[in-house]
Amino acid sequence: MKKLLTLAFISFVCLIQLKAQVQNSCLPDTMNKIIITPLDAINQELPPLGPPTTPPISPVRDTSEFRMVFWVHGMNGDASSWSKAATASSVPIVSGPIPGFPPRKIFSRLVDYSNVQVDLSSAALDLDGDLINNPDLPANYDKKNSFIIGHSQGGLVTRALNYQKISQGLPLKYGGFVTFGTPHRGIVGLTGNNKTLSYKFFEYAALSLAAGPAQVLQSIVEDLKSNFFVKLFKIIPDININDNINDLIRKSLFYNPVTDQNGFILDQIRKEVESGIAKEMAVGSSSLNLLNGFDPKIPSAAFYAVKKPFIHHYMDGRQDLLVKPFWALMHYAINNPNENDFFKANDDWMMAEKARDVYLDYYERAMQYQEVIDVIDNSKCIPGILFPGICVCDHDTYIALRNLPISKNWSTTKQAHVCRVIKRKKEMAKLSLLRDKFLVGSNWVTAANDLWETAIGGQSYIYTGYCYRKILVDDTIVEQRYLPINGICGQSDAPPVPEGGKALGDWKKEKAGILYKEHDGAVLAESARDLPFITDDMKDSFNNDLARMEGSGHMQMRNDKNTKNALNYIFNGEVGDFFRTEKQN
């Protein structure tokens, strides 16, 4: 999952660098705005949650001996994915004890099936080959005392291994398993219409952020092509760009809709998402249906993360930062959470800070163009000295242009050029286009979280059940509305257009509001917590949900403050006595 998101987000990171072309000035830090603009999409519904099964009888174990724990990575991860958590759980830390987290009597093995990402079955076979016991375990060590801790896709690979072995009557090399952020009911963002939205999200991101800087380059090219001396002396005779800069970006990074040829980045994204193992993680896939109908009859537990908007408080007095789940996810999609100290991957606000800076840069650049437009539009026209028939700007307008960030470095010729009556409308149109292109970029930053949450199923519209359309009757626009018999708009039960009227569009479902579902930035909470045939209800004596990792993101949950609590629950036996593991002396 990390590789996929990182690959897809290369376009965003690269295009952020283009802001070097944007003049940076300090605006008051008050532009941290969020506008709800979700896409109109039908999100895949997940099956209802299943109750826990009767837990199996745990084998009698000698708690004084060490046991084996296998740490399994997720999609496109590797052996390093659990490195910090596995180390903290099994060996004393050289720098000193971790408060509230003693090492346990376990041997950790960081397994790696990353070379086999064809399908769940193939990955499971590769995983099985990497489940090797530590040589320091006693010769008579019972493998049923071992257990797996799997993240994301790693949980599904583990469940596929359960099915392969148990259904064939073959022994497992472990006796139980725990999942973190595993999409047991599938990933909505890899399913149906939402998969298309996921593609479009990254295309929209790159093109929106490139729109302003690309238009600047386009304007430079057009000015050179139209320059009198360039034409007269053929200084640059080979300037001949048939495609505009935005089209070139689309063709190289994404695709050409005419030829349907994929560009580099979208081609790589599609290869990842269209892979066999990714398809198996779609909601309702045959592979998931098979696993969800199979009871392995071994101890199991499932943790899920919930990422909501939160406020980051600066210690230096800067204005608080509102962090949306998408930006928190992107921070650890690009930065490995294991690069933080033990259980301290909690700085997921940093990408949101960069996003706000990009928003401010783009918005300010747009407003700078608007300032120039206003000055030119309000300028007074006076006759030129050499050519009295050519109207030029008055002195106050020249002074105003020299004081504006965009136009202060313009030559006198350029300033005179924009003020000529015959050229004024054309120049103002070019400036307006530049303004609008930078606004496209700033608006994308504002809307990015809602677009992403819609793609992954975190946001969707609620419909009232009624259908409506606009009609024109006697030069007046009115609305027709009715309740369909079978819930489908525009069929034979729909009322006709009144005599003399005209329909102004097709029938649509009436929207009542937006439905929000909890998620970790990539996987819906209801999918990650619903492990079929789970053997513990994940509740403590006070009925608190131990499985819930409030505030963690999908990548982050392998090494943040909630990870420490979750592992303590596991080793203390609070999610099943089988997982109880003694502390090291």
Whether the CB-CB separation of 470 and 344 falls below 8 Å is answered with no
Closest alpha carbon to 459 in 528, 527, 513: 513
Q: What is the pLDDT of residue 35?
A: 31
**For residue 535, what pLDDT is reported?**
93
**HEC per residue, 553-583:** CCCHHHCCHHHHHHHHHHHCCCCCHHHCCCE
Of 79, 101, 77, give the one whose Cα is nearest residue 88: 101
pLDDT of the residue at 239? 47
Q: pLDDT 10s per residue in the chain (585 long)?
A: 555 444 444 444 444 433 333 333 333 232 233 233 333 333 455 666 666 666 666 666 666 789 999 999 998 889 999 999 999 999 998 888 999 999 999 999 999 998 887 899 999 999 999 999 999 999 999 999 999 999 999 999 999 999 999 999 999 999 999 999 999 999 999 888 888 888 788 878 878 888 888 888 777 766 666 655 555 555 555 545 555 656 666 666 555 454 455 566 666 666 666 677 888 999 989 999 999 999 999 999 999 999 999 999 999 989 999 999 999 999 998 899 999 999 999 999 999 999 999 999 999 999 999 998 888 887 776 765 666 556 667 777 777 877 888 877 776 666 666 777 667 778 888 889 999 999 999 999 999 999 999 999 999 888 888 999 999 998 899 999 999 998 899 999 999 999 889 999 999 999 888 999 999 999 999 999 999 999 999 998 899 999 999 999 999 999 999 999 999 999 999 999 999 999 997
98: left (phi over 0), alpha (psi -120 to 50) or beta: beta
Across 355-382, b (16+ Cβ under 10 Å) vs e yields bbbbbbbbbbbbbbbbbbbebbeebeee
| 473 strand-pairing partners | 476
Question: Any alpha helices (H) in 335-456, and if so which ranges?
Answer: 350-377, 395-403, 412-419, 421-456
Residue the block writes with tokens 């965003």: 12
pTM for this prediction: 0.82
Residue with tokens 């040589």: 135
CB neighbours of 432 closer than 8 A, spacing ≥ 6? 369, 373
In the chain, what are the domains?
Answer: 67-189+282-306+520-579 (3.40.50.1820), 460-516 (no CATH)
Q: Which residues pair with 478 in a beta bridge?
A: 471
Q: Give the 3-state DSSP-derived string for 201-235, with helices as H, strands as E and coil as C.
A: HHHHHHHHHHHHHHHHHHHHHHHHHHCHHHHHHCC
CB neighbours (10 Å) of residue 14?
14
Q: How many residues does the chain have?
A: 585
How much is the CA Rg of the chain, to the nearest whole Å? 30
